[in-house]
């Protein structure tokens, strides 16, 4: 929960995260490595007086998550060069003046085929439809219903293993946000900030974990896409904080 002063700090952290993500997206080109994107993100956050929240979090070794193609989330930047036709989710969280701002987007690399473009488009639409349902007094389960209905209409699966979360002074906190249909209790309250970050898959919604303990990939190698915003619940709706 936030008061007027902490909302100001949240907005500043989220605005920086949004600008960093937008800049990171301009770097997505064939032959660029995710390591290079990580270094650029790190520098921009530090130069702005912040700290990259993922760096050292639970032992995570880099400043940003880069999840390419079949990677659902939490991909670790490395020396692999992006290839024409890839899709890549870049997940940016910044810590600024005691508050975290968290956002992600899936970008297209070079010439991407139409089915992949549709996956990315529908994933973003799912997130925005869920956000549009949010306001003071609304049941959290409405988020999962909105996302599932739209995803299923286009033949995509909603990954259930990963959730949205409260965010503020703490990187991950209550409430837990489920993106699939559910009957979990609880209602949104004005002054809350949390993320909505659905992952959609072309095939299996089950994942395999790599030995690094972070990288989650679809069990059948099918493509996955994710979008994420941090939002503030108000009496009349939800304000997206991670906008440039």
Residue numbers in the known binding site for a divalent metal cation are: 91, 102, 165, 197, 228
Burial of 211 from C-beta contacts in 10 A (0-12 / 13-18 / 19+): exposed
The answer to whether 168 touches 10, Cβ cutoff 8 Å, is yes
Q: Which helix (DSSP H) or strand (DSSP E) does residue 88 occupy?
A: strand 87-96
Burial of 187 from C-beta contacts in 10 A (0-12 / 13-18 / 19+): middle
User: Distance between terminal CA atoms of the chain?
Assistant: 23
The token pair at 49 is 């007086």
The answer to whether 37 touches 24, Cβ cutoff 8 Å, is yes
Specify binding-site residues for substrate: 74, 172
Specify binding-site residues: 74, 91, 102, 165, 172, 197, 228
């Amino acid at each position: 929960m936030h008061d007027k002063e902490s909302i100001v700090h949240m907005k500043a952290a989220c605005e920086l995260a949004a600008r960093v993500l937008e800049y990171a997206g301009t770097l997505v080109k064939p032959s660029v490595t995710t390591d290079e994107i990580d270094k650029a993100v790190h520098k921009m956050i530090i130069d702005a007086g912040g700290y990259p929240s993922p760096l050292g979090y639970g032992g995570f070794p880099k400043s940003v998550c880069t999840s390419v193609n079949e990677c659902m989330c939490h991909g670790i930047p490395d020396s692999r060069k992006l290839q024409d036709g890839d899709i890549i989710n870049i997940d940016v969280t910044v810590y600024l003046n005691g508050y975290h701002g968290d956002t992600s987007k899936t970008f297209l690399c070079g010439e991407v085929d139409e089915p992949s473009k549709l996956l990315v488009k529908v994933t973003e639409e799912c997130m925005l439809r869920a956000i549009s349902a949010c306001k003071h007094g609304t049941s959290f389960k409405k988020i999962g219903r909105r996302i599932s209905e739209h995803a299923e209409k286009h033949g995509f699966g909603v990954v259930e293993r990963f959730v949205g979360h409260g965010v503020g002074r703490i990187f991950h906190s209550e409430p837990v946000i489920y993106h699939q249909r559910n009957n979990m209790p609880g209602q949104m309250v004005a002054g809350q900030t949390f993320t909505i970050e659905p992952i959609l898959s072309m095939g299996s919604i089950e994942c395999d974990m790599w030995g690094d303990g972070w990288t989650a990939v679809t069990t059948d190698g099918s493509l996955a896409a994710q979008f994420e915003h941090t939002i503030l619940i108000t009496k009349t709706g939800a304000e997206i904080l991670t906008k440039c």
